[in-house]
Structure 1
Amino acid sequence: MKIYKVVKVGTLHDKNPIFAFESELNIEAQEGWELHSLVPQLDEGSVFNNIAIFVRDLNDEE
């Protein structure tokens, strides 16, 4: 069985948010989470937020 975790991520338009997102990915990976998908949240055609969905096996839960 899989379990999921949802994390709100800001926009990724320049380098600082990208580095912050990379850091978040590495932190989650150390805890056994794998990125499943990144869903953009749109408003009138522009991305104002992203939602990262992580997944791991229930047996991996700490």
Structure 2
Amino acid sequence: MRVLVAAASRHGSTREIAQVIGEQLCEMGIATDVKDARDVISVEEYDAVVLGSAIYVGQWL
């Protein structure tokens, strides 16, 4: 199984959370990539995607 953890973060906190999630998945033996959401071109190569974003004024970044 291969997982993508993608996050949009304005000040870095959401990115830090994504990194911890990615580390935990790796510790469980799951191949994981952690990327900025804006850098994701395709999710075809992944079996699962975890998507996170900061929210400002009710809107995802």
TM-score range, shorter chain: 0.3 to 0.5
Which has the greater radius of gyration?
A: 1
TM-score, normalised by the number of residues in structure 1: 0.41
Q: Which has the higher strand share?
A: 1
TM-score, normalised by the number of residues in structure 2: 0.42
